[in-house]
């Protein structure tokens, strides 16, 4: 389908909407604080995993040890914290692949026959079509660290590079969520199949960091490390939960220091306590909330001071992995699908301004938004892809920003440790 000469109005709404799987945990305390421990006297001792972050060849590497019971785990964390070679140690955090149960989030449904571009109102809402005359993202890599990506999906075939399975689950198990996120980023345009992504020519680096039981912190760190090593320009994390994790925070710091833009979904519990969620709330991460099909702020989406901007999060057409030789296309909803639109926009900015640093790219994304009369907490406004690309183009006429040169090494950030929270030891 050709690029429409006069695309429909940004506020074009779809009556049909759908519920997606979300990588969000139940609402909990927003700030990174120690969780109360269950008394060993009231519960049987159990094996806990403790992750220690070391640096090998300038890259973060997680080593895992086990301890029986909370007291032993707490002692192990203190011992590891005292090791000069360990920058961070914490009992493993797991983010869940579970629906939020929000009554405000639209339901999931199967789309009819192809083509589905007519359902892709979000491409007009974020003004993606106008950006494609400049770039569609060829040569740029977006890492989708998720539940796995099916590289045979028709809208992705030939543009998926598998960078590893960091879970204990089989490669053969590919939950729909990761493939759907990847098609929102990079679904092919003009191929007569499905819909289209916001950056339809980018390459997807697929890292499996989530299994059906959840997304463990050690897998997420390993996925971030592998993505940067594979040349990712952007990392998309459509996952989250209320627990702060020191090892993930350190890996994010390292990735952004290498010039990689990290984008995460803000969460889908805005109408159920509206907690701050991680990794969206880590410093340096671009946190994305959501709007409705009508262009209003989505009440079900997290909205708080950590959010940078918003993108459409309801009734987004997305492709699922293959099952018995067929590939379903669904209408999906959640900040899991607003975040990849911003990841795609960041990838387009990289093709226009490959030497721009993370702060500059983030500034283009947030500084060119379409302003909305929304309540506080939804960031600067609605993503405007064409305006961001135009700003990046204009900046290329001036001297390029100084990004410095990376030595390829990393120093263990000991000076920051007093500012970090007390290590968390939980049994959940």
Q: Which positions are annotated as active-site residues?
A: 146, 177, 336
Strands 203-208, 215-216: pairing kind: unpaired
Residue reference for tokens 């389908």? 1
Residue with tokens 């269950």: 38
Q: What is the end-to-end Cα distance of the chain in Å, rounded?
A: 49
CA distances from 384 to 9, 56, 190, 212, 361 (A): 13, 39, 22, 34, 13
Measuring CA to CA, which residue among 290, 145, 148, 132 is closest to residue 196? 132
Token reading at 151? 């590289």
Do the beta carbons of residue 178 and residue 206 sit within 8 Å? yes
């Amino acid at each position: 389908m050709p690029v429409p000469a006069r695309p429909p109005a940004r506020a074009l709404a779809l009556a049909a909407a759908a519920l997606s799987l979300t990588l969000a945990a139940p609402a909990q305390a927003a700030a990174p604080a120690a969780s109360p421990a269950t008394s060993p006297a009231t519960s049987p001792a159990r094996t806990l995993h403790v992750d220690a972050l070391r640096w090998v060849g300038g890259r973060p590497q997680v080593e895992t040890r086990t301890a029986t019971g909370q007291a032993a785990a707490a002692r192990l964390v203190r011992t590891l914290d005292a090791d000069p070679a360990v920058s961070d140690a914490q009992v493993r955090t797991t983010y869940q692949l579970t629906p939020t149960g929000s009554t405000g989030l639209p339901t999931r449904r199967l789309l009819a026959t192809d083509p589905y571009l007519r359902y892709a109102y979000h491409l007009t809402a974020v003004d993606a079509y106008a950006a494609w005359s400049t770039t569609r993202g060829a040569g740029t890599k977006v890492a989708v660290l998720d539940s796995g990506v099916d590289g045979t999906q028709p809208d992705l075939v030939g543009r998926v590079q598998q960078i590893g399975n960091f879970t204990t689950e089989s490669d053969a198990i590919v939950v729909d969520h990761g493939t759907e996120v990847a098609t929102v980023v990079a679904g092919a345009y003009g191929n007569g199949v499905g819909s289209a992504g916001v950056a339809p020519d980018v390459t997807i680096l697929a890292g499996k960091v989530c299994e059906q039981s959840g997304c463990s912190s050690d897998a997420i760190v390993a996925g971030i490390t592998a993505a940067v090593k594979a040349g990712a320009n952007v990392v998309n994390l459509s996952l989250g939960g209320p627990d702060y994790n020191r090892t993930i925070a350190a890996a994010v710091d390292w990735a952004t220091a290498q010039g990689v833009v990290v984008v995460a979904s803000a969460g889908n519990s805005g109408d159920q306590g509206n907690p701050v969620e991680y990794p969206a709330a880590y410093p340096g991460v671009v946190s994305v909330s959501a709007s409705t099909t009508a262009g209003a702020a989505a009440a079900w989406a997290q909205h708080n001071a950590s959010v940078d901007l918003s993108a459409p999060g309801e009734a987004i057409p997305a492709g699922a992995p293959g099952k018995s030789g067929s590939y379903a296309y669904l209408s999906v909803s959640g900040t899991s699908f607003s975040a990849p639109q911003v990841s795609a926009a960041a990838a387009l900015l990289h093709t226009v301004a490959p030497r721009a640093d993370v702060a500059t790219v983030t500034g283009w994304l947030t500084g060119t938004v379409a302003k909305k009369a929304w309540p506080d907490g939804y960031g600067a406004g609605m993503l405007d892809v064409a305006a961001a690309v135009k700003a990046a183009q204009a900046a290329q006429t001036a001297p390029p920003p100084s990004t410095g040169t990376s030595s390829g090494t990393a120093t263990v950030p000991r000076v920051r440790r007093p500012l970090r929270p007390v290590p968390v030891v939980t049994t959940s």
